[in-house]
Structure 1
């Protein structure tokens, strides 16, 4: 392998890694606050891309039916569990999620400016994760991580089946946000890829600052560490979880808008993206945003070089690398646990 070929493969790997970075950030964000491994995160990325493509073609996006269904279920759950404050429940789960849906019905078939198309896409994707949280995760928020993971997997298959009905089996690819390209060191970098890298860096910085230096961010972290203690100091765990899922929806919408133009996505394409992003998040420790970014970029590079060696094995190698990482982390944790009794005896 020549140095020039290695650089080309590295460039392709960074481009692949940029696809996984934002998804890894969203997975880490939700896990840090709620202990939920949000498996459907990749699905939201695909839905955002398909929604933007539909708006660009002048069609009403199928996502409106999914939002209406989830909003109806969440509203039923909320009204059934509340003796009072029905007005707040109606506003949060009945009115607000339906505003972008109403806008999609009104604007369907019209030629819209690109910024309006992206804003409407974000508006339609934004309520999905909080609604899923209210329906599936908030009632079992105190369950073990394993139970939450099982529910997340089941939820993925449930909404994937609904997505097949509302989107159809055909794939779609939105138009590029920019057609510019830049030459750096003899290599050409598409402007779309640079946008993805810039968005990943910005999201990493903002999330690190939010959770590390703001009172709201620390309150969200406190909820994950000790839900009972959070309640005692005035933090509402339900509201904290909804906020985390809302931020995750925003990341997923941005990811779909940036990723969609570089690859054709189908209703079920997001699962593989989310799974590879999860591998990157695990490699990064699942608790660190910079670690998640580095892990996702490593997955992209590993995928690129493995595909050059044997394209049939690229998926196998990417997922297989998770095994030694988990064994190593398990061994390190076991070692730490064995040392504690000795220190207590001293």
Structure 2
């Protein structure tokens, strides 16, 4: 291997690492706030990419109908709880206000999808369709089990993963799709050739990481999420709703997953189950940070990206094995370094 090949592999590794960093940050966020190891994170990657691919073909994505169905189910559950709690008309009006955004997005998508809007508008609409599903999944699958053990929440995550993967097969079929690039430019720097899509991936990842930092450091909602992550009981005593925090964390995770899918779909073919492997690499990066540190997760993601890139050169058939084996020494190191005990 000479310097030119090493440079190309390093560039590819940093590009992939930028995507893994986003997914790792979402994994750390969800686990810190809700204690959920969010295995279905990758399904939002596939849903985002394939929703855009369907609109590119002038079709109405099945995810639009799924969004409307989930919105209706959540509204029915919340309405029933409001009725049982004797909250009256005020409670029902609150439920209607919460359901209104999902209904409006669904109706807009039903009207706009066949009209083949420009690519940036279709990408924005795809994000708007997939992002609300995060809070809806939390409401339907996790909210009633919020105080359960991590093991129970992990089992639920496995079930949600299989359910969403199966729905993805029904929605999009077994054939993969690849979307057009958001920027067709090409740049050369010595032996390196840099595509416009690569620039967009790295820039979008950096901008989103910066936005998340600003959100957690300088916004009231961000500080509320941080408080819930540090001490759930203390946050409740201070009037911070752990339910609202969980919904916000899952909404952010769904947005990050869908955005990651849009960013990588011009560079690789996405299938209904492609997100699982991509999300799993983000999880490996999050484990590197102990599911607790955002900078550590970003660093771990870059390491995973570089390891995957160089492994594909030296042992292409075993690159996935090498990447996932990377988690074993990290787990051993953390097991020896950090005190731990049984969860009650």
Give your verdict on TM over 0.5: yes
Partner residue in 2 for 1:2? 2
TM-score (norm 1): 0.92
**Contact 1:43/1:271 (<8 A) preserved:** yes
Partner residue in 2 for 1:80? 80
Please give the alpha-carbon distance, in whole angstroms, between the structure 1 residues aligned to 2:143 and 2:200: 35
1:200-222 CA-to-partner distances (Å, cap 9, x unmatched) read 11222221232234332221122
Quote how far apart the aligned CAs of 1:185 are. 4.1
Structure 2 residue runs of 5 or longer lacking an equivalent are none
Quote how far apart the aligned CAs of 1:65 are. 2.4
Quote how far apart the aligned CAs of 1:304 are. 1.2
User: C-alpha root-mean-square deviation of aligned residues, in Å?
Assistant: 1.7
Partner residue in 2 for 1:344? none
Partner residue in 1 for 2:320? 315
Partner residue in 1 for 2:149? 144
Partner residue in 2 for 1:35? 35
**Contact 2:4/2:191 (<8 A) preserved:** no
Please give the alpha-carbon distance, in whole angstroms, between the structure 2 residues aligned to 1:11 and 1:303: 12
- What is the number of equivalent residue pairs in this alignment? 335
1:57-79 CA-to-partner distances (Å, cap 9, x unmatched) read 21111111221232233223222
Which of the numbers 242, 245, 252 marks the counterpart of 2:257?
A: 252
Mean Cα displacement is larger for which, 317-326 or 277-286?
Answer: 277-286
Quote how far apart the aligned CAs of 1:138 are. 1.0
TM alignment of 1:150-299, pairs within 5 A = 150-299=155-304
Please give the alpha-carbon distance, in whole angstroms, between the structure 1 residues aligned to 2:321 and 2:305: 13
Partner residue in 2 for 1:67? 67
**Contact 1:18/1:296 (<8 A) preserved:** yes
Quote how far apart the aligned CAs of 1:139 are. 0.8
Q: What secondary structure does 2:116 align onto?
A: coil
Structure 1 residue runs of 5 or longer lacking an equivalent are 338-346
Q: What secondary structure does 2:147 align onto?
A: coil
1:149-199 CA-to-partner distances (Å, cap 9, x unmatched) read 221111010111112111111211111000112223431111111111111
1:16-35 CA-to-partner distances (Å, cap 9, x unmatched) read 22232221121122122222
Please give the alpha-carbon distance, in whole angstroms, between the structure 2 residues aligned to 1:49 and 1:193: 16
Please give the alpha-carbon distance, in whole angstroms, between the structure 1 residues aligned to 2:36 and 2:208: 20
Please give the alpha-carbon distance, in whole angstroms, between the structure 1 residues aligned to 2:213 and 2:294: 7
Q: What secondary structure does 1:261 align onto?
A: coil
Quote how far apart the aligned CAs of 1:289 are. 2.2
Q: What secondary structure does 2:194 align onto?
A: strand
Partner residue in 2 for 1:92? 98
Mean Cα displacement is larger for which, 14-23 or 323-332?
Answer: 14-23
Please give the alpha-carbon distance, in whole angstroms, between the structure 2 residues aligned to 1:275 and 1:227: 27
TM-score (norm 2): 0.92
